[in-house]
Amino acid sequence: MAIKASVKKGFEVTKKSLTVIGILSVFGFVWSFINIYIAPKIQAQAAAPSVKISVLVLIGSLIFILASIFLQAGTLGYVRDKIKQGKSSLVAFTAAGFKYYLRLLAVGIIITLIAMLFILVAALAVAFLKKPGLVIAIPAGLAAIYAVLLMFFAPYIVVVNEEKPIASIKKSAGLVKKNFLRVLGLLGILIAIGFVIGLLAGAILGLLNIAIQGITAQVIYAVISSFLNALLGIFVTASFMNFYLEISNTNTAGA
């Protein structure tokens, strides 16, 4: 029941979160728009490397990541209030963005480092042992995926339970282990829905390339894809937020 109810709640919250979807869409579009004009320069750099372009790309990527964490924190706080209190606001969105920023940044760094550790083991095994190294690399890769899954609810726990990074990761691991199949089930459903949306976006791009040529088509596609990604982002966040609230026995209210 938790899976079905969570998907339903995801749709309900998404329909009532158009303002936040708009904010996320604008952010996604701005990044896509910048890439439309930077991508050709990056391709040209392959033939003539430029330190200036490399530094700009690095700085731009860092800004994007840091801004994304703020939006993630804000979205989690906004969705939490939508589900638990039945209402939320841009004030709550902004407040959550600032309040949970550093904790979510820390959680992200920890998860990334743990995943990279397993990936590094896999890469070194293949590099030094060649084909026999696959015996180590494959389990290491699977272990990385499993570790990330165990930590999946850490951001939700930070926002819902006001936990610190390490405590949230520990609690997430215990919760995921107890509900592993259900977590995979909900994840599978959401991935399927995302796949359908991806096909829709791909079909739109194909039609645009036929009807319109050049940068204009890319800009229009950026607008559409940014909106779809924002829509999917709210839907997935709300679905998992509701699922977490149910399996953790946290009181909820209708959105």
Q: Is residue 96 part of a domain?
A: yes
Per cent of the chain over pLDDT 90 is 59
| In-domain check, residue 17 | yes
* pTM strictly above 0.85: yes
Does residue 33 form part of some domain? yes
pLDDT in tens, 156-200: 999 999 999 999 999 999 999 999 999 999 999 999 999 988 888
The closest alpha carbon to 78, from 28, 30, 23, belongs to 23
User: Residue 17 is part of which domain span?
Assistant: 2-112+180-247
Q: Which of 144, 90, 81, 77 is nearest to 117 (CA)?
A: 144
In angstroms, the CA 106 to CA 15 distance is: 31
Closest listed residue to residue 54, CA positions, set 67, 40, 41? 41
Count of other CB atoms within 10 angstroms of residue 159: 27
Residue 235 and residue 14 in contact, taking contact as beta carbons nearer than 8 Å: yes
Q: 166 lies in a domain? A: no
pLDDT at position 251: 53
> Does residue 117 form part of some domain?
no
| 242 within some domain | yes
- Split at pLDDT 50, 70, 90, the class of 9 is very high
Number of domains in the chain: 1
Indicate the burial class of 178 (C-beta count within 10 angstroms; 0-12, 13-18, 19 or more).
exposed
| Least confidently predicted of 53-57, 86-90, 198-202 | 53-57
Residue 170, domain member (yes or no):
no
Is position 209 within any domain? yes
Mean pLDDT, the chain, as a whole number? 87
Q: How confident is the model at residue 56 (pLDDT cuts 50, 70, 90)?
A: confident
Count CB atoms within 10 A of the CB of residue 74: 25
Contact 28, 217 (CB under 8 A): no
**pLDDT of res. 180:** 94
